[in-house]
Amino acid sequence: MSALIKITNLTKDYVNDDVVTPVLRGLNFAINQGEFVAIMGPSGSGKSTLMHILGFLDRLTNGVYEFDLKNVAEFSDNELAGLRNQEVGFVFQSYNLLPKTSVIENVKLPLIYAGVSPREMQKKAEKAIEAVGLTHRLNHLSNQLSGGESQRVAIARALINEPKMIFADEPTGNLDSKAGSQIMEILENLNEAGKTIILVTHEQDTAAHARRIIRLRDGVIVTDEIVNNRRIAKEGELRK
């Protein structure tokens, strides 16, 4: 099986007034289509920077990033924007919903500039909202939703273009344990349906829903292991 993502000797430096600050230092790993990978690490470990590079929001300094057998360094900024819109879905801790705008209109946003007809846009949005169990909230305004419901809308919006992979950056960070568990169950179900999920978190309980955990410290990979923690995660939730 060809890797969806292949990273070779990846480095990322930030330069400020001729001061070079290394953030990522020679990373090597691959992620196959359909994996559920958690990227963990303490604050400053480089996990968010890595997610931004993998999600085409930032460029690496040195090394090679291959996505679907193509070298990302060869893509123009416009091509990267197209990849972000068509191949990737993002779910952030802060939801990033438009206030005083309905659930379905928030979910439609990625399609507005994609040349999709209004009828097809409505159909796709309703399907994505159904996938996260929010059909009963279709026309509610985003500021009328709970935190857990808002994150579900964010996931539906991430699904609207049927991307190959979904990045979830601390998706349960603003939620209570019950709502957080529901969000992670949705991500598990999406993974079991074939979606590649890349989760960025510092919480062990959240990472326990993944099937593989890559741990970063000071910009290097300290462990990369296959795990089978979902049963443990669910048992832990039942004890809460």
**Six token digits for residue 119:** 């009828």
pLDDT of 25 over the 80 cut: yes
Q: Is 213 exposed, middle or buried (0-12, 13-18, 19+ CB in 10 A)?
A: buried
Measured distance between the N- and C-terminal CA atoms of the chain, rounded to whole angstroms: 40
Residue 238 — pLDDT band, cuts 50, 70, 90?
A: very low
CB distance 82 to 72 below 8 Å: no
Residue 228 — pLDDT band, cuts 50, 70, 90?
A: confident
- Confidence (pLDDT) at 1: 61
CB distance 87 to 160 below 8 Å: no
User: What distance in Å separates the CA atoms of residue 122 and residue 77, rounded to the nearest whole number?
Assistant: 29
- Confidence (pLDDT) at 146: 93
CB distance 140 to 103 below 8 Å: yes
State pLDDT tens for residues 92-109: 888 889 988 999 999 999
User: What distance in Å separates the CA atoms of residue 234 and residue 53, rounded to the nearest whole number?
Assistant: 31
Residue 230 — pLDDT band, cuts 50, 70, 90?
A: low
User: What distance in Å separates the CA atoms of residue 68 and residue 113, rounded to the nearest whole number?
Assistant: 24
pTM beyond 0.85, yes or no: yes
Number of residues in the chain: 240
How much is the average pLDDT of 118-130?
94
- Confidence (pLDDT) at 229: 57
